[in-house]
Amino acid sequence: EVQLVESGGGLVQPGGSLRLSCAASGFTFASYGMHWVRQAPGKGLEWISYITTTGSNTYYADSVKGRFTISRDNGKNSLYLQMNSLRAEDTAVFYCATNCAMCYGGFDPWGQGTLVTVSS
């Protein structure tokens, strides 16, 4: 069964750091680009970051550029998001998702998400 499981969310103070992880199973992780997407409370989906199969290329939304870093370990079938200088507006459910190369770049599948709360 194809599965993505996020972890690492929690409560952090403004200005703090957090590292999210996404464990992949049931497919050849190293063959797929991966994304992070978030949904703030009461808001819509926001694409955050994308990493190519080998990790050689990374892309970020302007809202997180310079603060967040996406990475992956294909040997561990894992995706990561290092989040620094966190702000209250970063409070959201964070999802990892697979770049479906056969789907014109649609995202499928997705994990269930992990909640990050930035508050003092």
Identify residues 48-67 at the interface with other proteins (CB under 8 A).
Answer: 50, 59, 61-62
Residue type, position 73, single letter: D
Q: Is 39 helix (H, G, I), strand (E, B) or coil?
A: strand
Q: Is 89 helix (H, G, I), strand (E, B) or coil?
A: helix
- Say if residues 70 and 61 touch (Cβ distance below 8 Å): no
- Closer Cβ to other proteins, 97 or 118, answer by number: 97
**Of these, 23, 30, 45, 115, which contacts other proteins (CB under 8 A)?**
45
Tell me, rounded to whole angstroms, the distance of Cα 94 from its chain centroid.
Answer: 6
Q: Taking contact as CB under 8 A, which single stretch among the options 13-21, 32-40, 67-75, 82-90 is the one that binds other proteins? A: 32-40
C-alpha torsion sign, points 62, 39, 21, 52: negative
CA-based nearest residue to 48, from 76, 1, 86, 13: 86
- Closer Cβ to other proteins, 75 or 104, answer by number: 104
Identify residues 81-100 at the interface with other proteins (CB under 8 A).
Answer: 95, 97, 100
Smallest separation, CB 62 to other proteins (Å): 8
List contacts with other proteins (CB under 8 A). 35, 37, 39, 44-47, 50, 59, 61-62, 95, 97, 100, 103-113
